[in-house]
Amino acid sequence: MIPYFSLTTFALGPITLHAWGFFVALGFIAGSAMACWLAKRRGSDPGVIIDATMWLALAGMVGGRIGHVLFYDPAYYLGNPIEVFEIWKGGLSVYGGMILASIVGILYLRRRHVDVFQYADVIAFGLPFGMWIGRIGCFLIHDHPGTATDFILGVQYPDGVTRHDLGLYESINALVLAILFLWLSRRKQPIGIYLAVFAMWYGVTRFFLDFLRVIDVRYFSFTPGQYFSIGLFVFGIGLMMWIRKRLKKG
């Protein structure tokens, strides 16, 4: 088991940083850097990715917070409205962030008059790298405790109960997907493959990981994340079928 430890803030010289926010920001930087790397290899403009990152990061944070407030604990935030803005304490919905970032990203790429599908695939390549690092912040503040377990990666919480820690699991899951993407990038891949694989992989793994959560609200036995996971997986399957059909034609 892993002994419980928590890191909410740390000092960088005279500056006090919130660990969760620091790792989320670092995740955005890492994801953008990897997307730029793939863009260069494909002959796309990394500058478009760099410019888009600011808008995607802002949309991801705003959408993630809105999603968390609306779908996970609306009653609490209705009674404590000021805490809606205290995002450094954690509490972002990955799917809320994905939805708003996707909308903003599509609008931005269209405004730049570039191939939206091509750049969306490049951005998808960077996602697991960003999520791997960003979820470390969730693990450090333990805002996603799970059910009791005797699993070797279980964390012994202060109450003496060893629990799954979903922040840790999602970070590891993203790292595995990032490694898979690096392996796939060794050979030229059709446009859309990273977007499709990400959607299928994350949709499936997140769906099953959510069964281990203990504090998330449930609607008809499923968490909000599980419903979105089903939709994401179906999207990934549909996209993969479309890519294969297009390759056969071409």
Helices 166-184 & 193-209 angle (0-180, nearest 10)? 160
Both tokens assigned to 235 = 């999207």
Per-residue confidence of the chain (250 residues) as pLDDT tens digits? 899 999 988 888 888 888 988 999 999 999 999 999 999 999 999 999 999 999 999 999 999 999 989 988 888 888 888 888 877 666 788 999 999 999 999 999 999 999 999 999 999 999 999 999 999 999 999 989 999 999 999 999 999 999 999 999 999 999 999 999 999 999 999 999 999 999 999 999 999 999 999 978 899 999 999 999 999 999 999 999 999 998 887 6
User: What integer pLDDT is reported at residue 84 of this predicted model?
Assistant: 86
Tally Cβ neighbours within 10 Å of residue 103. Answer: 12
User: Residue 211: phi, psi to the nearest 5?
Assistant: -65, -20
Neighbour tally for 121: CB within 10 Å: 26
Closest to 235 (Cα-Cα) out of 95, 68, 53, 42: 95
Cα–Cα distance measured from residue 217 to residue 91, given in angstroms and rounded to the nearest whole number = 13
CA–CA distance, 105 with 163 (Å, rounded to integer): 37
pLDDT in tens, 81-90: 888 887 766 6
> Dihedral sign, CA of 65, 66, 71, 76?
positive
